Amino acid sequence: MVVIDETCRSAPAGVRDSKLLTPAARVAMVPRLRRWAVGHAVGHASPAEIDEIGIIAALRLAGQRALGQIDVVPDLVLLDGNHDWLTDPQEVGLLAEIVGGASTPPVRTMIKADMRCSSVAAASVLAKVERDAHMVDLDREHPHYGWADNKGYSASAHLDALAVHGASEQHRRSWSLPGVTPLPAAAHVGDDEERPGGDRGLLAGTTSEGRSR
């Protein structure tokens, strides 16, 4: 998450969607992005939480955890894509009246926001760097999966290791893992079919959110 306001100067030179930057460029940019933003945070949801409540609810949980880490209250949340996964369904319409109103700031979605908005691009960089570092740490505990290199995605070495060693507690067992029986559907009810593009092919590790506020 990156918070900016009218006092923020122009975004640091070179900031763009994290997928368009090399790992070294992303890491080098982090200190400049943190100095630029009024506030910043990254929220995580664990593989077990993803399996239990589904990816959309887990994204919401990670986003709410990021919101809880900052001291400022955003006037607006800008999400990449066309799906508002941050707002709890209970905060919308008649349900909002029953539970006492919304607690999440207003949300606006924007397709390709990480390409069009510097603050969203900055948030994607912070989230990507933190999650990649987490996967490197996990690689020391589970070296046979090659997470220091593949960061939990479905690279051939990762898939081969799954076939030999099976899944660890860091794998998303409600996903389709080679050679691993998935969890029963009831164990991950609410796992909406729409999964944000950044999570496709991601088999292990947390989901990490850092969106623009």
> pLDDT at position 99, please?
42
In the chain, the domains with their CATH numbers are 2-209 (3.30.420.10)
pLDDT at 208: 60
Residue 153: the pLDDT is 92
3-state SS of the chain?
CEECCCCCCCCCCCCCCHHHCCHHHHHHHHHHHHHHCCEECCEEECHHHHHHHCHHHHHHHHHHHHHHCCCCCCCCEEEECCCCCCCCHHHCCHHHHHHCCCCCCCEEEECCHHHHCHHHHHHHHHHHHHHHHHHHHHHHHCHHHCHHHHCCECCHHHHHHHHHHCCCCCECCCCCCCCCCCCCHHHHCCCCCCCCHHHCCECECCEEECCEC
Residue-level pLDDT at 98: 44
Tens digits of residue pLDDT in 147-163:
999 999 999 999 999 99
pLDDT at 201: 65
Flag residues of the chain having pLDDT under 70.
91-102, 183-201, 206-213
